[in-house]
Structure 1
Amino acid sequence: MNNKGFTLIELVVVIVILGILAVTAAPRFLNLQENARKSSLQGLKGAMEGAAGITYGKAAVENQERSSAAVDVAGIETRWGFPTASSAGIEAAVTGLDSNDWVLSHEGQSNDDTAYTVVTFYDADKEGDTSAITDTGCYVRYDQAQGTEINQVASATVFDDNC
């Protein structure tokens, strides 16, 4: 008799091998979401820094880069030539920051009275609540410029300890 097919032992061996592969490969796939969040925050930081640099260049062309008062440069509110930490400043400068992908707060003030914006992934419960955003441990902070010295210009910082 000429039977074609797999024996029970062959099928069990294949299932065991697939199980071993699944156990070793699953942790790598589960970590992809964390890496994607961290990469998105790095991309947002780059977009903020790029927008701030372009805005500063435009302010310099218009001879507005030394003004400590709020100045409109190409529809973007600036201080010291960089976008302010407000909806009229950095949010207007970065394309897509006002979309449903991100949740922002412009209310933060640090100890030295420096205005800042914090941004994280969209969650309606955190809208405008700085402490709720920072409590996530997965956000970008934009500090507006305090002057024209190298340690006073606008900066963006990624916090990704808990993504």
Structure 2
Amino acid sequence: MKSGAQAGFTLIELVVVIVILGILAATAIPKFIDMSTDARVAKMNAATGAIKAGSALYHAQWLVSGSPADAQNAATVTMEGKAVTGKFGYPTADAAGIGEAAGIAAPDYTIGSTGGFSVTPDATRTGCVVTYPAPTAAGAPVVVNAATTTTCK
């Protein structure tokens, strides 16, 4: 280098780098926009897991307690110091039953009663739902997860 000569980038080099960064950003932005739908699906998958675990834990505690039942085959089991209502050895399909057993409540989720105990990520996405039906004498309720990237948009 000659003394007194300036070192740096030319205007053309800077423009080329800015154009390349713009192209990379244009391809990455749609991926980040779609992440909110994926996050809602993951949230509902977490709710499904919590409901299944809460139901299984209630059933285990019910069995350990000697399968208590009254005339309607209903029982209240204490889980972590809280009374959880149940029927046929599984939590009832309400906030006092599976809601308490699974630890699912507002404001994390919107709670409903469509088809049993239903959970949505918010009030506007009613198709993005996990449902815990009322327990029957036949056995464990089957949790239905309708959360997909289509229903959770």
TM-score, length-scaled by structure 2 = 0.82
Alignment-derived partner of residue 44 in structure 2: 41
Q: Give the Cα separation in 1 of the matches to 2:151 and 2:48.
A: 17
Question: Corresponding residue for 2:73?
Answer: 69
Q: Give, in whole Å, the separation in 2 of the partners of 1:136 and 1:7.
A: 56
Does residue 120 of the first structure (1) align with residue 120 of the second (2)? yes
Q: Which runs of 5+ in 2 are unaligned?
A: none
Aligned residues: 142
Aligned partner of 1:5: which letter? G
Residue 102 (structure 2) aligns with: 94
Runs of 4+ in 1 over 4 A off after TM superposition: 65-68
- The answer for the alignment partner of 1:143 in structure 2 is 133
Q: Is 1:31 aligned to 2:34, yes or no?
A: yes
* 2:28 paired with 1:20: no
TM-score norm. by structure 1 comes to 0.77
8 Å Cα contact 1:56-1:65 kept in structure 2: no
CA contact (8 A) 2:69 2:75 kept: no
Report Cα offsets for 1:74-99 as digits up to 9, x if no partner. Answer: 1111111100111211111122x124
* Aligned-partner residue type, residue 146 of structure 1: T
Q: Quote the RMSD (CA, aligned, Å).
A: 2.1
Find the counterpart in structure 2 of residue 80 from structure 1: 88
- Unaligned runs of 5+ residues in structure 1 are 110-115, 127-132
Structure number, greater radius of gyration = 2
* Aligned mate of 1:159, from 124, 146, 153: 146
Q: How far apart are 1:64 and its partner, in Å? A: 2.6
Q: In the aligned structure 2, how far is the partner of 1:36 from the partner of 1:119?
A: 15
Q: In structure 2, what is the Cα distance between the partners aligned to 1:44 and 1:19?
A: 39
Q: Return the letter of the residue paired with 1:88.
A: A
The aligned counterpart of 2:59 is 56
Query: What is the deviation of 1:54?
Result: 0.6
